[in-house]
Structure 1
Amino acid sequence: MTNYDRRLVERLLPTVWDPYAAYGITDSTAPDPDMPRARVDPAIRGTLYAHLADIKTGWQRAPLRPEERQAVLLYYGLDQDQRHIAHVQGVTRQTVGERVDRGVGRIVDCLNGTAA
């Protein structure tokens, strides 16, 4: 079982709406491409596909408030800046930042099984 953190969830969130975004995700622990390849045990090989399935489930099941869900969608799904989201939602940029942070936090909690 993977313990999800904010950094991983923020990296995976765009794949909820754009499946092609997964092609740009690389393993930060992988060796350089010019290094010789070692044999890999397929049982522990990669977790990308599991992460992709989990992030979609987390997005659907996390108890986000409507304004948090909208802010997260606009920020990670449509790549809008916080100033534009603030204009759309009729709030300050700081409020948008808080909504996005809370939304991502709720998704992390949901994926880790600690959601209230």
Structure 2
Amino acid sequence: MWSPEAAYGIRNPQAPDADMPKGTVDPRSAGTLFAHLADIRRAWALCELSEGERRALFLRYGLDWPDQEIAAEDGVTDRAVRYRLERGVGKLAAWLNGRQYVDGYDELTAA
């Protein structure tokens, strides 16, 4: 997702096997993989994410680092990393759905 050439290495699950004879392709029944990648790339560029959320999302989902490693690298707790990931994914999903992000933690009161 972070590399402009990423889509070229991904196999289209709707495509026929390489050894199958060539046929016509109906664009209406083609997969939506490339549209999803374009949407996610646009959301990544335009969504209002904090630097910590952006960094946690990249390290976790881009580089597949575990939460403990991200926490050690950033000098925060595992819980803070999970919070950043949850908020970041929530903000991206809200942006993609055209909705305003509502943080579920804002409603919690101190006990």
TM-score, normalised by the number of residues in structure 1 = 0.66
Which structure has more relative contact order (CA 8 Å, sep 6+)? It is: 1
Whole-Å Cα distance in 1 between the matches of residues 4 and 84 of structure 2? 22
Match of 2:2 in 1: 16
Larger radius of gyration: 2
Aligned match of 1:71 = 56
Moved over 3 A (4+): 17-27
Residue 44 of structure 1 deviates from its aligned partner by: 3.4
RMSD over aligned Cα atoms: 2.9
Equivalent-residue separation in structure 2 for 1:42 and 1:59 (angstroms):
27
- Structure 1 unaligned spans of 5+: 1-14, 30-38
TM-score calculated relative to the size of structure 2: 0.69
| Structure number having the greater helix percentage | 1
Residue correspondences, number: 101
Letter in 1 for 2:2: V
1:55 matched residue in structure 2: 40
- Percent identity of equivalent pairs: 40
Give unmatched runs, 5+ long, in structure 2: 15-23, 102-111
